[in-house]
Structure 1
């Protein structure tokens, strides 16, 4: 059962649900307009990262679905800067919406979400990529950081 719902967007939605509950139950703690503006920019950056990475997957005709082995090793575009731009986008969206909504819980949940993404998705994906692409993957991993 968990396998069918164990995807990064579900984890992000879970964290955002906790943040939203905080906004309902507690007063805004970070309600300053400058902070909210920074939150909006952070969300926008996350959306752009997600879109650029998604476009790279489409162009390469490779799977974007976690738990599957990709058909292509994508090392161009946004993947030159980060091996995991979609996961980075998830964290940016969480932090940005937390700032936008004035909720501290999202700032606490961000490193927890990063750890979940690392353990449940990134490490297994890296193992599959190394198995599939061997030395090319090793070179890519050596020259491109995991997050940013």
Structure 2
């Protein structure tokens, strides 16, 4: 499940920050500020997406077949707002913790989520919603 992967990457960043910082820092309060914005923004996006799943009465679980195609709220800007929010939260925590050496975890996390979850979900959506999903896919980007 994606939350388990996010937890693993967060734990890796925390361990790196706590035990292998090597005296590296992002420098100044800007990292705390931007990190806080990323974490807070990510949490808000997750909440907004969850509200849409509930409103449309469809599953939020990645491997389950959705009953409806959501195209409103945060889904107007990203086909995968929860995964985007997960990446934002990870990046934000890395900034807040001054985990400089953990920055490469963000693109690795994005790549892993795309390969393990998004590509399969998109294939399922194409099969279930056909033309409606094709139009949505042309209109809204995968990440942002």
User: In 2, Cα distance between the equivalents of 1:105 and 1:70?
Assistant: 38
TM-score, with length taken from structure 2: 0.95
Aligned partner (choices 33, 36, 40) of residue 40 of structure 1: 36
Equivalences, count: 142
Contact 2:26/2:98 (8 A) holds in 1: yes
Of residues 27-36 and 12-21 in structure 1, the stretch that sits farther from structure 2 once superposed is 27-36
Structure 1 length as normaliser, TM-score?
0.92
3-state secondary structure, aligned to 1:48: helix
Equivalent residue in structure 1 for 2:81, among 79, 85, 89: 85
Alignment of 1:1-148 (within 5 A): 7-25=1-19, 26=21, 27=23, 29-30=25-26, 32-148=28-144
Q: Which runs of 5+ in 2 are unaligned?
A: none
Q: Which moved more, 1:98-107 or 1:74-83?
A: 98-107
CA RMSD of aligned residues (A): 1.1
Alignment partners' CA distance in 2, 1:140 and 1:101? 37
Structure 1, 26-35 or 92-101: larger mean CA deviation = 26-35
Q: For residues 66 and 77 of structure 1, what CA distance do their matches in structure 2 show?
A: 19
Q: Which runs of 4+ in 1 moved over 3 A?
A: none
The CA distance in 2 between the partners of 1:47 and 1:31, in whole Å, is: 25
Following superposition, the deviation at residue 107 of structure 1 comes to 1.6
Q: Distance in 2 between matches of 1:144 and 1:105?
A: 33
Determine the C-alpha separation between the residues in 2 that align with 1:147 and 1:123: 12
Q: Mean alpha-carbon deviation: is it higher for 47-56 or for 20-29?
A: 20-29
Aligned-pair CA distance for 1:28: 5.4
5+ residue gaps, structure 1, are 1-6
